[in-house]
Structure 1
Amino acid sequence: MKIIIVGCGKVGTTLAEQLNKENHDIIVIDKNAGVVNSISERIDVMGVVGNGAVNKVQMEAGIEDTDLLIATTNSDELNMLCCLIAKKAGNCHTIARIRNPEYDSQISYIREELGLSLAINPEMAAAMEISRLLRFPSAIKIDTFAKGKKEILKFIVPEHSVLNDMKVRDVLKRLNCNVLICAIEHNSEVVIPSGDSVIKAGDKISFIASPVESNEFFRQVGIDNTIIKTAMLVGGGKITYYVAKMLENTKIKVKILEQNAQRCNELSELLPKAMVIHGDASDQELLLQEGIGQTDAFASLTGFDEENIMLSLYAASQSKAKLITKINRIAFENVIDSMNLGSIIYPKLITAETILQYVRAMQNSMGSNVETLYKIVADRAEALEFKVVNEPCIVGIPLEKLELKENLLIAYIMRKGRFISPRGKDILEEGDRVIVVTTVTGLNDLKDILR
């Protein structure tokens, strides 16, 4: 597909990289010639220098035969205008990044009036992930399938866990837990496990289960899923605001540390149930005074990666709190993942996942659209939910007779509200939904699971 991306900031650049890997024809637009040239030299994309909201600039980028325009500049209003012009000039699909909390209540109206295909708020998406983690602190990552009926959770196997040295095939039999282990990260290696794969302490395990089943599984493997009662959030930005807002009707008491006095006053008015503290979180005495040693959860959400990393490492040394660390840059992902930073939140990757999901569904002409898509491990493993249409090469054929690609697992079949753990004799029927986990990234259609 031909895709125009307006705005080459963190989100725009990440999208250009991800979509380029999936063999789309990418054109980037930005006012900064240096940024455009840098991206064009680094990845195989065409660049146009100019204001993406100007019809002439969009014409130069080829809007008339474009399939999708994605506007990710720092201005919500500019993004909306870009999409409006693109809709008129090219009648293409449009996606706008809209971040201002003031627009939240009217986002449906904005989408309808401007003809937007998708409106994405990176900070709100990140906050939703954080709020899920605070409700289920044993996991370091949680995503949902089948409208929340199944979850994919990631956790680190503790040193003395019963799982250490256990084969995957023995998990159900020995623990009597109906969970499906679908990915194992051992050091820098990511594998889709077979029954003979062995789990080791320190491995990051991803598994699929219902919320009730996952609770029982954590209990059986000796991981305490302590209920979070207090949360300390450092940084008073948009993510912190959204997290505190989402937790207002829960029993979690929220404390926010922010060094800008004016922002503290704003947050105090917007979040009457939260305690807002004016102070510099890099001051260790302040953190100790405000109870870092006793808090159940600690989230470092400032705008600086280095500060977030240092704050989380300090919190880990002072408490047993559930740690959440926001990271904007992903250049040193392997190094960051090796640190004790708890759950790492990459807002721009969350945004990219959402848009990639939409793009894959859009380009699919066969109808077996990607309903849901999650990156389990950055660019190395994905979990996807497909809807099954009448595809003769797949429907009605026993799974054991399908020539599936390597490193691919059909995790669950959902049929008329019932979940089926697939065996070799099972078949796929039209109307089913299927969860697939694979290290073969870039699947667009259910038939792509075949060799």
Structure 2
Amino acid sequence: MSNIIVVGCGRVGSQLANMLSDNGSNVCVIDKSAEAFAKLGRNFNGSTVQGIGFDEDTLLKAGVEDCDVLAAVTQSDNANLMCTEVATHLFDVPHVIARLYNSDHERAYAQLGIDYVCGTSLVAEEVFGKAVSGHGAHLETFGEYEVLRFSLSLAHLERRTIRVSEVERDHDIRIVAFERADGSASSIPTGDSILYHGDTVMACVRHELIDQFSAFVQK
């Protein structure tokens, strides 16, 4: 069972929290207004914490130390950004997702490596998909493809290396760049390039294959 914190209990946050809870996740919702929790309805079986989503004490009360995913979906881009920074850098939350209102900031979010959802419709559904699949940081969307950045885990293999051509063939993706885990080198790969456990990889993945590919990455 995943432990997920949702920051913001407006229309999107309350819908997202219920979707995650119905999916079997352990959900805690944070909002600065106690009245906002009424939007969750009587059937919500998660927990709530009143407070500011980027406040350390509030996050600790919400269980951030055991958190698998944090979704910051308040109505403020600045608040959402601060939530992601605190969750990532102070508490090492593995997967952090932010709602982004101002599309002019997409480039900055991409450069910071922040996984985000930008738009005004179906936001809860998109964040839900990211939270459940647990795939790596979203960089861009091109039609039916998403560009993802993730840390490659090969712990499930007897060997700790794999060729780019093997990953592309087995998972029907295209790897466009990688960086060594120790930061010693980065490269645009060929099919013969070798990837190591812990390397940071950028890949183009079709939407319908994200769940399957995420299962491989996170084994």
TM-score when normalising by structure 1: 0.30
> C-alpha distance in 2, partners of 1:80/1:435?
25
- Equivalent residue, structure 2, for 1:431: 171
Q: What amino acid sits opposite 2:117 in the alignment?
A: I
Whether contact under 8 Å (2:14, 2:39) holds in the other structure is no
- Equivalent residue, structure 2, for 1:102: 104
Going from structure 1 to structure 2, the CA distance change for 1:353 and 1:38 (only over 3 Å counts) comes to closer
Alignment gaps of 5+ in structure 2: 136-143, 145-167, 174-205, 214-219
Are residue 359 (structure 1) and residue 99 (structure 2) matched? no
Whether contact under 8 Å (2:103, 2:118) holds in the other structure is no
C-alpha RMSD of the superposition: 3.5
- Equivalent residue, structure 2, for 1:319: none
Are residue 29 (structure 1) and residue 30 (structure 2) matched? yes
CA drift at 1:75: 0.7
Q: Secondary structure at the match of 1:85?
A: helix
- Equivalent residue, structure 2, for 1:121: 118
Q: Secondary structure at the match of 2:48?
A: strand
Q: Secondary structure at the match of 1:359?
A: helix
Going from structure 1 to structure 2, the CA distance change for 1:26 and 1:435 (only over 3 Å counts) comes to closer
Whether contact under 8 Å (1:40, 1:46) holds in the other structure is no
- Equivalent residue, structure 2, for 1:88: 89
Alignment gaps of 5+ in structure 1: 124-346, 364-371, 373-416, 418-428, 437-443, 447-451
Q: What amino acid sits opposite 1:95 in the alignment?
A: I
Are residue 5 (structure 1) and residue 6 (structure 2) matched? yes
What is the CA deviation profile of residues 70-125 of structure 1, one whole-angstrom value per residue up to 9, with x for unaligned ones? 0011110011111111113321121111112432343322x33xxx2x121123xx
TM-score when normalising by structure 2: 0.59
Whether contact under 8 Å (2:49, 2:62) holds in the other structure is yes
Whether contact under 8 Å (2:3, 2:26) holds in the other structure is yes
Q: Which has the higher contact order (CA 8 A, sep 6+)?
A: 2
What is the CA deviation profile of residues 310-348 of structure 1, one whole-angstrom value per residue up to 9, with x for unaligned ones? xxxxxxxxxxxxxxxxxxxxxxxxxxxxxxxxxxxxx0x
Whether contact under 8 Å (1:71, 1:96) holds in the other structure is yes
Q: Secondary structure at the match of 1:3?
A: strand
Whether contact under 8 Å (1:6, 1:71) holds in the other structure is yes
Are residue 71 (structure 1) and residue 72 (structure 2) matched? yes
Whether contact under 8 Å (1:39, 1:45) holds in the other structure is no
Whether contact under 8 Å (2:5, 2:69) holds in the other structure is yes
CA drift at 1:58: 0.4
